[in-house]
Amino acid sequence: MIAILKKGTTENEIKELTSWFEEQGVRCHLSKGDYQTIIGLIGDTSHIDTELVESLDMIESVRRISEPFKKANRKFHPDNTVIKVGNVTIGDGSFNVMAGPCSIESETQIIEIAKAVKAAGATILRGGAFKPRTSPYAFQGLHEEGIKYLIEAKEETGLPVITEIMDARHLPLFEDVDILQVGARNMQNFELLKALGETDKPVLLKRGLSSTLTELLMSAEYIMASGNPNVILCERGIRTFETATRNTLDVSAVPVLRELSHLPIIVDPSHATGVARYVKPMAMCGTAAGADGLEIEVHTNPKAALSDGAQSLTPAEFEDLMQAVAKIHAAL
């Protein structure tokens, strides 16, 4: 961290400032020019509050040199993290599609869809049992029962499964689940992140609607700092002024995250657009951008889906998407 002092700062003020920094456990290196005095802070500055330092009278500006995330940082971990679930690997250059219904509605429904998405090439089954819904009056998922059906579909098809967890108290219900998903609205539910960090299950962490990529990586850091290195990042659209799509897929997140972090990156075009007919082109974009895989909503009867029917593909549409995506992936 570099702090640039205002002109006219006195020797005494500088002394006081450097003592204060040293009390916080960092060493100071002073560069006095006839132009400007600069303090370089050496050591672990991750707990220093830049906004507070910037607000001090004698400070012109402050700049972090190093990113505030460590364990998620590619600089300290140059090789890609590879995550294994069942016989599937994520992050090693292979391309994995997680597909299934927004909500698990019945045993028949989830098994039928699981077979359909497997036939089309999906390698992981998704399905929601706990559903975060804006309205308390909307369908909230089948909860424990839903997870039971999901595990049956896993046994039936051999596909590893991913489903969302909304509260640390529910963790015991997820024992047979392969990947725990943290939704966009919970990306900064830090108590949940810490609880997941104490497990060893892979966690797919969705970017919050208005979270920067640095904040996404800091949330990954919460999980990793608590002991769980198995984090998968997921871009699922951000909130902007545009209303033609539900959110705006920030596909540039893929190369930016690839550069900053070693964690695998998944793109979710279903939630990003909210419109079934835009899912295929956005899936192709995510693939072209270099993602490690996709998460796609598929339903055998979107019109009857209990949630997010508007953005669900039929199995036939999903098969079409898979073929288009395979061609793009082959072209990379």
Residue with smaller CB distance to its own copies, 151 or 209: 209
Residue with smaller CB distance to its own copies, 118 or 207: 207
Q: How far apart are CA 127 and CA 111, in angstroms?
A: 11
Contacts of 169 by beta carbon, 8 Å cutoff, 6+ apart: none
Q: How far apart are CA 271 and CA 276, in angstroms?
A: 10
Residue with smaller CB distance to its own copies, 202 or 302: 302
What minimum distance in Å lies between the beta carbon of 165 and its own copies?
10
What minimum distance in Å lies between the beta carbon of 288 and its own copies?
4
* Cβ atoms within 10 Å of 54's Cβ, excluding its own: 13
What minimum distance in Å lies between the beta carbon of 112 and its own copies?
20
Residue with smaller CB distance to its own copies, 60 or 156: 60
φ, ψ (nearest 5 deg) of residue 28: -115, 140
What minimum distance in Å lies between the beta carbon of 174 and its own copies?
14
Q: How far apart are CA 96 and CA 113, in angstroms?
A: 17
What minimum distance in Å lies between the beta carbon of 54 and its own copies?
7
Based on its alpha-carbon atoms, the radius of gyration of the chain, rounded to whole angstroms, reads: 23
Residue with smaller CB distance to its own copies, 36 or 108: 36
Q: How far apart are CA 228 and CA 221, in angstroms?
A: 9
175 backbone φψ class: left, alpha, beta (φ>0; ψ -120 to 50)? alpha
Pair of tokens at residue 29 = 């290196």
Residue with smaller CB distance to its own copies, 155 or 212: 212
Q: With contact defined as beta carbons under 8 Å apart, do 110 and 100 qualify?
A: yes
What minimum distance in Å lies between the beta carbon of 117 and its own copies?
20
